[in-house]
């Protein structure tokens, strides 16, 4: 069967509840909080604490972490430019599903290419995608090297390593930048929490019939 023909025959399922209706039941629209930055910048540490803080405040939140997704949904992908694009395309679609369900979906991925992050943003209505640039200089990230990846990349054992042999494109206009070389993780989380709480979009309840 012709692959293109088969895809053209598909249509989106019609659900009993729309994203707006789910939002009305929750009192607010879902949001994607997209943490991007170099390996070692602190994305996973911040994302884990952020999820905990949101849940303890009564929000429905979930975390999609790069390593977890790479070992599951995207384990068929390598680290070429094409595979990196596909990796972020998939996670963008998954994050949208969570946001449509009314959750605060935290995404912690290097996501090195600006165009891929912008494509993920376009999947959501305005105001429901918050890009957080978790920023630390390359030298600081390499000094931390919590997984030993920079050392292995310097030895030629990891080709196409972001920041060394593959580019990282800084966000042009993120909703927030946190400098993890200047602030501890907890302080970064507090700043992001304030941003999320200020950006959550309330949805008016259904009018009485």
Domain range list for the chain? 19-198
Res. 9: pLDDT tops 80: no
Percent of the chain with pLDDT over 90: 67
Q: 148's torsion region: left (phi>0), alpha (psi -120 to 50) or beta?
A: left
3-state SS class at 46 = helix
Res. 199: pLDDT tops 90: no
Which residues are within 8 A (CB) of 21 and not within 5 positions of it... i.e. 6 or more apart? Answer: none
Over residues 85-100, mean pLDDT: 93
pLDDT of amino acid 108: 96
pLDDT of amino acid 70: 78
Q: Within 13 Å, how many C-alpha atoms sit on residue 87's CB side?
A: 27
Lowest mean pLDDT among 30-39, 120-129, 196-205: 196-205
CA angle 19, 25, 27 (to 5 degrees): 95
Q: At what angle do helices 114-122 and 81-100 cross, to 10 degrees?
A: 30
CA angle 142, 149, 48 (to 5 degrees): 85
22: part of which helix (H) or strand (E)? helix 19-26
208 vs 18, residue with greater confidence: 18
> Pairing mode, if any, of strands 129-135 and 61-65?
unpaired
Res. 4: pLDDT tops 70: no
Distance, in Å, from the CA atom of 121 to the CA atom of 127, rounded to the nearest integer, reads: 9
> pLDDT band at residue 27, thresholds of 50, 70 and 90?
low
pLDDT of amino acid 23: 53
pLDDT of amino acid 80: 79
CATH class given for the domain over 19-198:
alpha beta
Over residues 62-79, mean pLDDT: 81
177 forms beta bridges with 133
> pLDDT band at residue 159, thresholds of 50, 70 and 90?
confident
Over residues 136-155, mean pLDDT: 95
pLDDT of amino acid 55: 95
Over residues 193-202, mean pLDDT: 85
> pLDDT band at residue 6, thresholds of 50, 70 and 90?
low
**Catalytic residue numbers, as ranges:** 111
Res. 40: pLDDT tops 90: yes
Closest CA to 139 of 154, 157, 160, 156: 154
Query: Which pair of tokens denotes residue 180?
Result: 């993890």
Distance, in Å, from the CA atom of 139 to the CA atom of 94, rounded to the nearest integer, reads: 33
Under 8 Å between Cβ of 104 and 57 = no
Please name the residue that has the structure tokens 């580019």.
167
pTM of the model: 0.84
Each residue's pLDDT tens digit, 111-120: 999 999 999 9
Res. 146: pLDDT tops 70: yes
């Amino acid at each position: 069967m012709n692959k293109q023909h088969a895809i053209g025959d598909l249509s989106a399922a019609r659900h009993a509840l729309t994203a707006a209706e789910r939002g009305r039941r929750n009192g607010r629209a879902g949001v994607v909080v997209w943490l991007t930055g170099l390996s070692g910048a602190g994305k996973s540490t911040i994302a884990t604490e952020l999820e905990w803080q949101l849940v303890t405040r009564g929000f429905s939140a979930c975390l999609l972490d790069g390593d977890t997704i790479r070992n599951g949904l995207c384990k068929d992908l390598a680290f070429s430019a094409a595979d990196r694009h596909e990796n972020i395309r998939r996670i963008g679609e998954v994050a949208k599903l969570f946001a449509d369900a009314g959750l605060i979906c935290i995404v912690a991925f290097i996501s090195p290419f600006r165009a891929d992050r912008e494509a993920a943003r376009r999947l959501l209505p305005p105001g429901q995608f918050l890009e957080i640039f978790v920023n630390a200089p390359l030298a600081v990230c390499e000094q931390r090297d919590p997984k030993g990846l920079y050392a292995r990349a310097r030895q030629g054992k990891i080709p196409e390593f972001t920041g060394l042999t593959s580019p990282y494109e800084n966000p042009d206009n993120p909703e927030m930048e946190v400098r993890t070389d200047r602030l501890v993780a907890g302080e970064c989380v507090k700043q992001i929490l304030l941003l999320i709480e200020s950006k959550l979009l309330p949805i008016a309840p259904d009018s009485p019939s």
